[in-house]
Amino acid sequence: MPAKRLIVTPKADNEIKSILADVQAYTGSIPSLIKLKNAFIERFNLIASFPKAGKRRDDGTRETFCRHYRIVYRESDDCIEIITVIHSRRRYPQDE
């Protein structure tokens, strides 16, 4: 089965940029930032190819993890939408 088209929402894109900036600021290491960015890309490609691999949530979304980050996504007939990317210690959704 071919991979589905992947859409990263503006919210998720901003979260990813913030996470990568925080990692680089904390470690002082560009290679650490690049490794995490590549890990996200690999996970997104896996989600696009195998969207049902993530754990199904009560709200109809799915989630998977990349290192210490939760990736929440929604599958439709023609695409995968990355909704949010947050640290696994943070609750999602916020009102749980």
Q: Residue 96 falls within a domain, yes or no? A: no
Q: Residue 92 falls within a domain, yes or no? A: no
Q: How confident is the model at residue 95 (pLDDT cuts 50, 70, 90)?
A: very low
The candidate with the shortest Cα–Cα distance to 16, out of 49, 38, 31, 46, is 38
Residue 84 pairs in a beta bridge with 72
In this prediction, residue 20 carries a pLDDT of 95
Entry pTM: 0.88
CB-based contact 72:62 (threshold 8 Å): yes
Q: CB under 8 Å to 10, separation ≥6 — which residues?
A: none
Q: How confident is the model at residue 2 (pLDDT cuts 50, 70, 90)?
A: confident
Q: Residue 28 falls within a domain, yes or no? A: yes
Q: Residue 31 falls within a domain, yes or no? A: yes
Q: Residue 52 falls within a domain, yes or no? A: yes
74-86 mean pLDDT: 94
Q: How confident is the model at residue 96 (pLDDT cuts 50, 70, 90)?
A: very low
CATH number of the structural domain spanning residue 63: 3.30.2310.20
24-57, pLDDT tens digit by residue? 999 999 999 999 999 999 999 999 999 998 999 9
Which domain covers residue 42, as residue numbers? 5-87
Q: Residue 94 falls within a domain, yes or no? A: no
Q: Residue 93 falls within a domain, yes or no? A: no
Number of structural domains (the chain) is 1
Distances (CA, A) of 69 to 4, 47, 76: 22, 14, 23
Residue 9 pairs in a beta bridge with none
